[in-house]
Amino acid sequence: MPSTEKAWEHELESLHRRLAASATKAFVFRRNGTNFGHENEVLFASGARLVARSRTQATSNFPATNANANANANGTVLQKQIPVYVFEVDLF
């Protein structure tokens, strides 16, 4: 999934995983009290395999703000519309 800056430059992606092999180990990081913001971070065991099943465009006009460029020359925050894609993947 792209970082915030890459989302500003390109697109926002959301991965939805289906567990295809229950033996795959994973660690889900907590969000509260961290710098993850609204993101969910998951670490999969070495050797885990992701297989893309589908890619669907959810919207073409999601508002994105460039956090690295606080404001342009006249003091307004930079914002534009970006596409959002939802991926469905199997986890083995």
Q: What are 40-78's pLDDT values in tens digits?
A: 778 888 888 888 899 999 999 988 887 665 556 666 777
Section 26-49 average pLDDT = 77
pLDDT at 13 exceeding the cut of 50: yes
Q: What does the DSSP 8-state code read for residue 35? A: S
Q: Write down the pLDDT at residue 7.
A: 65
Query: Looking at per-residue confidence, does 17 or 88 come out higher?
Result: 88
Which residues, at least 6 apart from 84, have a Cβ–Cβ distance to it below 8 Å?
11, 12, 13, 14, 57, 58, 59, 62
Query: Looking at per-residue confidence, does 58 or 24 come out higher?
Result: 58
State which H helix or E strand residue 7 sits in. helix 4-9
Q: Write down the pLDDT at residue 35.
A: 65
The runs of H, that is alpha helices, within 30-74 are: none
